[in-house]
Amino acid sequence: MPPTVAGPTAALAGVPAGLQAQGVWAGRRQLFVRFAAEAETATMYTADALANELRRSAGRSAYHSVSISGRDPLSNVEYLCATFDKSPVELPVMLDTDGQRPEAIPELKKFVRLTQVTLEGGAIDAMVERGLRTLHASAAAGMQHALVLSPHEQTSDSQLLRIVEQTHGVSGATMIVIHPPPAVPVDRDRRWMTLLERAAALHADVRFALRLPPPTGMR
């Protein structure tokens, strides 16, 4: 008798439920498929096990969507396809990525509704090129697509405006969300109103919003 083939597996930092911390669906209650980073405690899930876990969780409570996130999720395309080809839940699926592996996007177009490219911290400029390629691939695949900018306190307005302009050149349908750094007193700083005014002149859909801090907000 031939051995049983278990199918693809992946190391996940659990399948928690929570509120999306940032981006287009911020505040939405989601099921999170989080690929584990090196320092995180991981559990190995087969694609079947993940599909069953999503099905059980969605059957116990109400959720807006599923978020695929964590460390380099697009390095697990075969695993994701094996999981979601089974249509485990009737919920929209969001991919949250830092823009790595744009060539993998077309394989996910059957089940990913929204691709959200999140660029954050002091290295935003270094990540822009691959982020733009991912947005282009998502637009070409017919997905909803968004760019989330979470700048460092030292990130300049000119840097952010340049990224907004470049994004518009890739796809005018991109939803852009700008989150200020957590410690910035936005209620006393008109910089952000001016920045949003200038950004809106470059691209029609630019939003300014505060992130939900952990543990309430999750990614």
Domain ranges of the chain: 9-218
- pLDDT number for residue 6: 60
Name which residue leads in pLDDT, 89 or 122. Answer: 89
- What is d(CA 210, CA 177) in angstroms, rounded to the nearest whole number? 10
Q: Are 154 and 136 in contact (CB under 8 A)?
A: no
Q: What is the pTM of this model?
A: 0.91
H/E stretch holding 133 reads helix 124-140
CATH class of 9-218: alpha beta
Residue 4 confidence (pLDDT) above 50: no
- pLDDT number for residue 2: 46
